């Protein structure tokens, strides 16, 4: 009994320690990669389509059928007796030629499987990007709450100081009212930040597939290689962007559909062998064995125009997917350019805001000292404005850090490298 209690205590302590462990961005990405239901559904789809690919090979293999029957004949006229004829047969069929439709169908199924794999990669990239944004949004929401709480604490102390100065006649009621209004505004901002945190938690749990424990680390996981130039990003995207590859495969599949439609207008040939045993067949035949080897050739000359119509439809669809492929090339190039521009812009904005925060901190400290010492002509409004500028610049800094991080992941997404393989993630199903 004592041992069981000790084991239970160890398990509880281990679980508590796991909850206390802060979640990193790498943990978030690994969890989303393994647990996101949309991603797991797409994995199941790939496995299902793999079975279709195996099924396409059956067109080139013989079919074997065993059949039989038992019947009863009741002869009421003449001198014939009643019989119970029966037959057992084995039929082996092999398709010899199908107008190349079988080969085209096999290629089509291979393209279908490749399509499923790249659609899985596309979903994988979307989920990992969404998980990154969810983790970053959660961090940003918490930082906003912290910044606003610090601001409220300062404003509360300032309000107490203002009340003392009002009693001494150093400031007017207007100055006190300005401080009170500033505090009320800060409290409203805190409430908004807290509500944003609730939304961020819900979104995090939906995408990542696990509950938020309350511990989350600042983002340090950036150990991946980005393209060094826009030209390199273009080059990578042409070979690895899943949207572009999907459009190409859709076009190649439509080409095979045209060949399949053409095969429906072509001759076909089949070879078959049948072995049959018949019992109690008639008064003259009690037992009989038959072996039949048959070669059959068919050529559909006319079927009401349906075959020709199917061919025209397949050609129009091939033209459609050819145009979509060309459009996808342009869309991918535009996406890469936008992602690269956003990355460069967010990097510049981040550096500027860092300088802004330093300047705002120095200005706020100087204005506050001048106001409290009475050395200058600083007013309560000057202090409130400088503190507001500092607050906004700190929130802008937290936001720009998040934007810069997401912009880096957006580049990987645009070129097609926001994958588990590139980020060294592990699937734990």
Q: Domain holding 250: CATH number?
A: 1.20.1600.10
* Contact assessment for residue 404 and residue 350, using Cβ atoms and an 8 Å cutoff: yes
Residue with tokens 């078959």: 272
Per-residue pLDDT, 315 = 94
Residues 76 and 157 placed together within one structural domain of the fold: no
Residues 158 and 275 placed together within one structural domain of the fold: no
Residues 242 and 357 placed together within one structural domain of the fold: yes
By residue range, what is the domain housing residue 144? 28-61+99-265+305-418
Per-residue pLDDT, 281 = 58
Distances (CA, A) of 100 to 61, 172, 257: 15, 95, 12
Number of domains in the chain: 2
* CB count in 10 Å sphere of residue 408: 19
Per-residue pLDDT, 338 = 97
Residues 321 and 398 placed together within one structural domain of the fold: yes
Residues 332 and 366 placed together within one structural domain of the fold: yes
Strands (E), 255-329: 268-279, 287-298
CA angle 216, 219, 223 (to 5 degrees): 135
Residues 199 and 277 placed together within one structural domain of the fold: no
Structure tokens given for 379: 């007013």
Chain centroid, CA 396 distance in Å: 29
Phi/psi at 124 (nearest 5 deg)? -60, -45
Per-residue pLDDT, 337 = 97
Per-residue pLDDT, 78 = 56
Chain centroid, CA 382 distance in Å: 50
Chain centroid, CA 24 distance in Å: 20
Contacts for 159-168: CB closer than 8 Å, 24+ residues apart: 159/183, 161/372, 162/380
Per-residue pLDDT, 73 = 66
Average pLDDT by stretches of 10, the chain with 429 residues: 41 38 82 93 92 73 83 63 76 78 84 94 96 94 94 91 86 89 94 95 91 77 82 96 97 93 83 82 66 84 79 94 97 97 96 96 92 81 92 95 94 96 73
- pTM of this prediction exceeds 0.85: no
């Amino acid at each position: 009994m004592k041992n069981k209690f000790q084991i239970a205590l160890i398990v509880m302590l281990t679980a508590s320690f796991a909850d206390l462990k802060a979640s990193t961005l790498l943990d978030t990405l690994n969890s989303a990669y393994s647990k996101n239901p949309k991603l797991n559904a797409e994995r199941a789809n790939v496995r299902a389509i793999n079975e279709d690919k195996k099924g396409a090979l059956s067109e080139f293999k013989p079919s074997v059928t065993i059949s039989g029957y038992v019947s009863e004949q009741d002869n009421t006229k003449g001198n014939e007796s009643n019989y119970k004829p029966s037959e057992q047969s084995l039929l082996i069929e092999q398709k010899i030629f199908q107008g190349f439709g079988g080969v085209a169908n096999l290629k089509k199924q291979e393209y279908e499987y490749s399509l499923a794999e790249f659609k899985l990669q596309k979903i994988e990239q979307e989920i990992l990007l969404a998980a990154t944004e969810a983790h970053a949004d959660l961090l940003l929401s918490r930082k906003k709450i912290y910044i606003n709480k610090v601001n409220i604490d300062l404003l509360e102390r300032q309000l107490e100081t203002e009340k003392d100065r009002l009693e001494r006649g150093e400031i007017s009621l207007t100055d006190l009212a300005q401080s009170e209004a500033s505090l009320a505004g800060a409290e409203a901002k805190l409430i908004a930040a807290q509500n944003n945190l609730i939304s961020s938690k819900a979104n995090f749990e939906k995408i990542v597939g696990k509950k938020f424990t309350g511990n989350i680390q600042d983002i340090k996981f950036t150990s991946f290689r980005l393209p060094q130039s826009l030209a390199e990003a273009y080059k990578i995207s042409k070979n690895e962007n899943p949207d572009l590859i999907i459009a190409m495969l859709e076009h190649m599949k439509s080409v095979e559909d045209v060949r399949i439609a053409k095969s429906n207008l072509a001759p076909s040939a089949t070879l078959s062998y049948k072995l049959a045993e018949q019992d109690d067949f008639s008064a003259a035949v009690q037992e009989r064995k038959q072996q039949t080897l048959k070669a059959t050739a068919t050529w559909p000359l006319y079927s009401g125009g349906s075959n020709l119509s199917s061919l025209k439809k397949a050609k129009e669809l091939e033209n459609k997917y050819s145009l979509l492929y060309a459009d996808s090339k342009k869309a991918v190039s535009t996406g890469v350019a936008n992602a690269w521009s956003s990355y460069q812009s967010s990097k510049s904005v981040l550096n500027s805001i860092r300088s802004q925060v330093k300047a705002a901190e120095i200005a706020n400290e100087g204005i506050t000292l001048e106001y409290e010492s009475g050395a200058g002509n600083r007013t309560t409004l000057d202090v409130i404005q400088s503190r507001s500028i500092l607050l906004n610049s700190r929130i802008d800094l937290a936001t720009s850090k998040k934007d810069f991080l997401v912009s880096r992941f957006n580049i990987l997404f645009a070129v097609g490298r926001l994958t588990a393989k590139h980020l060294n993630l592990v699937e734990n199903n």
